[in-house]
Chains A and B, each alone.
Chain A
């Protein structure tokens, strides 16, 4: 064991050493074997670079054959929910990532109903999990609950739009919202700061609860604390996405090539892409926990309060159903036995090579 134990149990043979300090390693190994699941929802108007950003974040191509509809087609469209799952692996750790896209959001001339579809999707996932959790066989519950929602804000406006406010208020109690300023290469540094501040002010003004990074614990090292502090100071993250490799300063970087310069995706001075990625990776576990402990529990208590009687009787029904099924099974077995007895009698009247037909019951 090469792990540095901060306490005095360095020598495994030290008296008093039980060995459960090895537990984290066991958990680690099991988790790695099991793999991780994460569901990320992206919401925002068309054309804000959502797909490009997701592809950049996870270095995959989630939308290989994409056809972008024209404006006339968009008039008729309602909001769709498209979930695509991809299994990515890095150094032996498997991640089953589901990206839930919401094309059509914000496109219509009248967007009054555009978040209903999204909210009912989120609720549906909670409902399904609740149902599975209360079921009899709980071994393979698949967690499709939305753990995090990246809400894309347009860099072209002066802050939040009425639609942004309405949507975020409708889902801030159901999912972790991470606001992201898209296409940040449109903004100069000063404009970016102004926009971020304005967005934060408006979020506070409207009492919108966005996801807050947990503070670093006091026993973490300084670097981590500093990193957390930097991350918190940069919310909302302003990002640029790209998977194209451009030659800049002698090396190949992912970026966007303009006549006036190259915007590097992974350059922290150009945009907050790295910060967003760090936040997502470092806090993936926390995002899942908050979803489980806060949003899901909220949903569950609301749901049970509402359909209180119903759920209890459901349990009773389940027992009843079980009993009924057992009774039916017994009846059927008796029937089979009777049929076999009948056949035997017939055979005895006939050839008599039915010796194989014994009593199975």
Chain B
């Protein structure tokens, strides 16, 4: 799921990440399309393939988030959507005749786009992440990073990291879910040095030093998307897709989903409504190490 105010390059970045047109591009906005009055949730599903491995990728975009004059509670539709997916999964799971592979529409990862002001997070960013870091894996990303020089970038990242820490916002990878020392050291390094990733996205190719690279062409130079000296797109891509993709799914399933499930079962004193038959047959909530629901 990609979140953030309009114009931060979310669609372009997702396209760049998956090297295909998986997201409706911002440039296809024609005059009739206005900023939506409320936050909309648009989910588009694609099947992409690489090296014989197929992946069903669903990108959920949220146009209208944070664009209004009054943005109070604009995270609520999103929280609702995420919980709805958990609910769907839960219903399927407790079903008598359930499918072998439950269709998983749960949100595994939420890329939150931070506007590169160079100052600090916006109050809206803080509020959103506070509410949603408890229900979904949030990966904060600094959008349009080509607007900051190297010093500004590292200062900004430091400030953002500090603000997130001071406000108790646990973004992915969360400290408490590190399973062993190896994971911990690896994740610590990512958490304290690289994140939030400052990225630049582009789907246009240019010729640089004899190679064709993805980039942005400006009168003062070409910004190469995959050049680590220019921006951290490659780090983000490796992180999300090449190393932590499975982990994202596992944390979603084992932790966020279980939290939701436990809360639901406790609230209703049993099952989600509609499946009353199995009330007594279902074993009690398993004593897996669930983080206490805040």
Contact = CB atoms under 8 A, between A and B. Distances in A.
A188 B218 contact: yes
B252 to A, nearest CB: 27
A154 B118 CA distance: 13
Contact of B7 (A45, A156, A166, A183): A156
A201 interface: yes
Contact of B230 (A107, A186, A260, A264): A260
Interface stretch (A108-116, A171-179, A320-328): A108-116
B121 A71 contact: yes
B163 A157 contact: no
Contact of A72 (B143, B146, B167, B230): B167
B147 A183 contact: yes
B44 interface: no
Contacts of B221: 258, 260-261
Contacts of A157: 5-7, 67
Contacts of B222: 260
A46 B146 contact: no
A35 interface: no
Contact of B126 (A71, A155, A162, A256): A71
A59 interface: no
Interface size class of B (residues with CB under 8 A): 35 or more
A189 B217 CA distance: 8
B35 A161 contact: yes
B224 A110 contact: no
Contact of A111 (B70, B115, B147, B229): B70
A188 B122 CA distance: 26
A162 B67 contact: yes
Interface string A184-199: 0110110000100000
A186 B146 contact: yes
B95 to A, nearest CB: 40
B70 A257 contact: no
Nearest to A156: B7
Contacts of B127: 75, 109
Interface in A238-278: 256-264, 269-270
Given A260-B223, A269-B219, A156 B144 contact: yes
Nearest to A154: B7
Interface string A21-53: 000000000000000000000000111100000
Nearest to A198: B31
Contacts of A69: 120
A213 interface: no
A72 B126 contact: yes
A186 B147 contact: yes
A260 B224 contact: yes
Contacts of A74: 120, 122-123
B119 A158 contact: no
Given A158-B29, A259-B230, A48 B117 contact: yes
Contacts of A166: 69
B118 A47 contact: yes
Contacts of A185: 146-147, 218, 220
Interface of A: 45-48, 68-72, 74-75, 107-112, 154-158, 161-163, 166, 183, 185-186, 188-189, 194, 201, 256-264, 269-270
8 contacts: A70-B163, A71-B163, A154-B115, A162-B69, A166-B69, A201-B31, A260-B221, A261-B221
List 4 tightest A-B contacts by C-beta distance, closest first: A47-B117, A261-B221, A261-B220, A157-B7
Interface of B: 5-9, 26-27, 29, 31, 35, 67-72, 115-127, 143-144, 146-147, 149-150, 159, 163, 166-167, 216-224, 227, 229-230
Given A74-B120, A108-B123, 4 more contacts: A71-B122, A111-B69, A257-B149, A262-B220
